[in-house]
């Protein structure tokens, strides 16, 4: 199958090399005006200015005239929890009435509430609801996604979640990475026996996950009331033994030490970063670890947003992700993540597009596959409606500006 997209007003993020962008370089967004893009099967095979479109070329099966429209790489959402059994809007109402996220969690709600419902739900039902969420986010422009376990908190529950993710990988055309987050919370049975639960993770969960090849990364919720930096280190070091690189929840509610421990462990990314001080920012800037900002989680929990400008000014490499989950970010809409990043975190439109595409691909180890308009990469694309400029995307935050989405060479909407 051959698709030709022609007369594109602006072809966005065209690159022949994959470079992780840090600091001010995040604003460098290469684009081509009045451009074409050729796709064969699931891959990008050529692109350029309309004036350079070769006369002699194989006949296309599908030709799209993109006059007035922008064509971008599909979003790369490098942090989600989209396998879950039930939404948690009752807790949302409790928060409206004054309870905090930490209070709800301490009373057996939050992650433990999701773990109860997940353990009572079949693998098939979990697959079906996660499949619907994948379908939803792909129509919103996401073409690659990382999905975590962490609502099982039992050997069987964690394995069940990871098997669902494996099946999603097999059946979906999206690029998917799986992360083992057994250390998301201490289950009630291990409330006063942290060593026992960590032992369960290391001795029982990890060997089986490795045997069935169910995970690409290992995650820990490094946070006061959850896992300490020492416990995070212990779990991650065990994961590293099985080839799982850390990708951890750090500095969400408190200065947890998560950034420092993540960097020390060679994490691919440290995620959240609502609560950062100079030391944490400096540590991240001096490392090869990517900082993943999850602004909709901060927004939903009514917390100060991540210090994006300080992180960029310090020279950090950052990405943006949705954190789609039932407790702190019940939305996987990357267009809204982008809008809030511009409106509230003062990120430039160019910085946002890079952060939500190629940088996200790097944070999943998928930079050779997705994240930019490059020959040989998977044709995961967003075609906008007719819009005046790139800045219009985060500016018109409530409008659906997407005309069509292509995943692996096929228009899905
Ligand atoms: O990334 N903070 C830890 N984990 C999730 C929320 C999990 C939940 O509340 O269900 C997050 O925000
Ligand atoms: Fe998360």
131, 96: one domain: yes
Any idea which ligand is nearest the CA of 222? 1
Domain end among 326, 342, 362: 362
Kindly state whether residue 64 falls inside one of the protein's structural domains. yes
87, 69: one domain: no
Contact (CB, 8 A) for 42 and 403: no
Ligand 1 site, residue 185, Cβ cutoff 6 A: no
Q: Indicate the pairing of strand 62-65 with strand 2-12.
A: parallel
Residue 107 has pLDDT above 90, yes or no: no
339, 383: one domain: no
Q: How far is the CA of 387 from the centre of ligand 1 (A)?
A: 35
Around 130, how many Cα atoms within 13 Å sit in the side-chain half-sphere? 33
Kindly state whether residue 207 falls inside one of the protein's structural domains. yes
Q: Which of 95, 275, 320, 327 to mutate to test the pocket of ligand 1 (most atoms within 8 A of CB)?
A: 327
Domain end among 344, 362, 380: 362
197, 227: one domain: yes
For 338-365, letters b (16+ CB in 10 Å) and e give bbbbbeebebbbbbbbbbbbbbbbbbbb
At 87, list the tokens.
Answer: 């939404």
Q: Which residues pair with 405 in a beta bridge?
A: 382
Residue nearest to atom 12 of ligand 1 (CA): 328
The single residue listed with the structure tokens 């194989």 is 58
Residue 304 has pLDDT above 90, yes or no: yes
Would you place residue 198 in the very low, low, confident or very high pLDDT band (cuts 50, 70, 90)? very high
Kindly state whether residue 292 falls inside one of the protein's structural domains. yes
- Name every residue whose Cβ is closer than 8 Å to that of residue 21 and which is 6 or more positions away in sequence: 28, 317, 354, 358, 359
137, 21: one domain: no
Kindly state whether residue 367 falls inside one of the protein's structural domains. no
134, 51: one domain: no
Q: Give the pLDDT confidence score for residue 402 in this predicted structure.
A: 98
Where residue 380 sits, what CATH number does that domain have? 2.30.40.10
180, 194: one domain: yes
* R_g (Cα) of the chain, nearest Å: 21
What Å distances lie between residue 30 and 12, 141, 248, 351, CA to CA? 7, 20, 31, 11
Residue nearest to atom 5 of ligand 1 (CA): 328
* 3-state secondary structure (DSSP) of residue 184: coil
Ligand 1 site, residue 327, Cβ cutoff 6 A: yes
312, 388: one domain: no
Contact (CB, 8 A) for 300 and 274: no
63, 81: one domain: no
Q: Which of 100, 249, 271 to mutate to test the pocket of ligand 1 (most atoms within 8 A of CB)?
A: 249
281, 231: one domain: yes
pLDDT in tens, 253-263: 999 999 999 99
Q: How far is the CA of 151 from the centre of ligand 1 (A)?
A: 10
Q: Which of 181, 184, 299 to mutate to test the pocket of ligand 1 (most atoms within 8 A of CB)?
A: 184
Kindly state whether residue 289 falls inside one of the protein's structural domains. yes
Contact (CB, 8 A) for 236 and 219: no
139, 263: one domain: yes
- Name every residue whose Cβ is closer than 8 Å to that of residue 162 and which is 6 or more positions away in sequence: 149, 178, 180, 209, 212, 214, 215
Distance CA 32, CA 184 (A): 43
Ligand 1: atom nearest CA of 88 is 10
293, 377: one domain: no
Where residue 245 sits, what CATH number does that domain have? 3.20.20.140
Kindly state whether residue 63 falls inside one of the protein's structural domains. yes
Kindly state whether residue 215 falls inside one of the protein's structural domains. yes
Q: How many domains, in total, are found in the chain?
A: 2
Which residues span the domain enclosing 139? Answer: 76-362
Contact (CB, 8 A) for 71 and 383: yes
Kindly state whether residue 240 falls inside one of the protein's structural domains. yes
pLDDT in tens, 25-68: 999 999 999 999 999 999 999 999 999 999 999 999 999 999 99
Residue 413 has pLDDT above 90, yes or no: no
Any idea which ligand is nearest the CA of 116? 1
Residue nearest to atom 10 of ligand 1 (CA): 327
* Mean pLDDT score of the chain: 98
Ligand 1: atom nearest CA of 272 is 1
Contact (CB, 8 A) for 407 and 74: yes
Rounded mean pLDDT, 81-104: 96
Rounded mean pLDDT, 112-131: 98
């Amino acid at each position: 199958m051959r698709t030709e997209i022609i007369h594109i007003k602006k072809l966005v993020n065209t690159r022949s090399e994959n470079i992780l962008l840090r600091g001010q370089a995040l604003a460098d967004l290469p684009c081509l005006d009045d451009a074409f893009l050729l796709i064969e099967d699931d891959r990008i095979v050529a692109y350029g200015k309309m004036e350079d479109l070769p006369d002699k070329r194989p006949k296309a099966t599908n030709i799209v005239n993109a006059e007035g429209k922008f064509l971008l790489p599909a979003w790369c959402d490098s942090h989600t929890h989209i396998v879950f059994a039930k939404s948690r809007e009752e807790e949302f109402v409790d928060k409206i009435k004054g309870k905090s996220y930490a209070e709800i969690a301490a009373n057996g709600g939050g992650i433990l509430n999701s773990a109860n419902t997940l353990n009572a739900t079949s693998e098939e039902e979990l697959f079906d609801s996660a499949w619907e969420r994948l379908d939803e986010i792909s129509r919103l422009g996401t073409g690659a996604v990382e999905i975590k376990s962490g609502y099982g908190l039992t050997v069987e529950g964690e394995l069940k979640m990871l098997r669902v993710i494996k099946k999603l990988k097999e059946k979906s055309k999206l690029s998917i990475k799986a992360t083992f987050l057994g250390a998301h919370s201490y289950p009630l049975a291990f409330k006063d026996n942290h060593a026992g639960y960590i032992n369960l993770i290391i001795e029982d969960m990890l060997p089986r996950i490795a045997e069935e090849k169910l995970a690409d990364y290992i995650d820990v919720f490094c946070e006061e009331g959850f896992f300490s930096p020492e416990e995070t280190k212990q779990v991650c070091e065990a994961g590293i033994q099985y080839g799982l690189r850390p990708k951890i929840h750090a500095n969400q509610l408190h200065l947890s030490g998560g950034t420092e421990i993540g960097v020390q462990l060679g994490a691919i990314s440290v995620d959240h970063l609502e609560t950062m001080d100079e030391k944490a920012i400096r540590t991240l800037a001096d490392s090869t670890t990517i900082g993943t900002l999850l602004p909709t989680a901060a927004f939903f929990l009514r917390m100060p947003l991540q210090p994006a400008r300080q992180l960029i000014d310090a020279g950090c490499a950052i990405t943006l992700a949705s954190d789609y989950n039932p407790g702190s970010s019940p939305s996987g809409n990357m267009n809204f993540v982008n809008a809030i990043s511009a409106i509230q975190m003062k990120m430039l439109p160019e910085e946002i597009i890079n952060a939500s595409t190629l940088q996200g691909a790097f944070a999943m180890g998928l930079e050779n596959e997705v994240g930019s308009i490059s020959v040989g990469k998977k044709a995961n694309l967003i075609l906008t409606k007719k819009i005046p400029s790139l800045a219009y995307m985060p500016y018109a935050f409530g409008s659906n500006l997407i005309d069509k989405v292509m995943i692996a060479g096929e228009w899905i909407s």
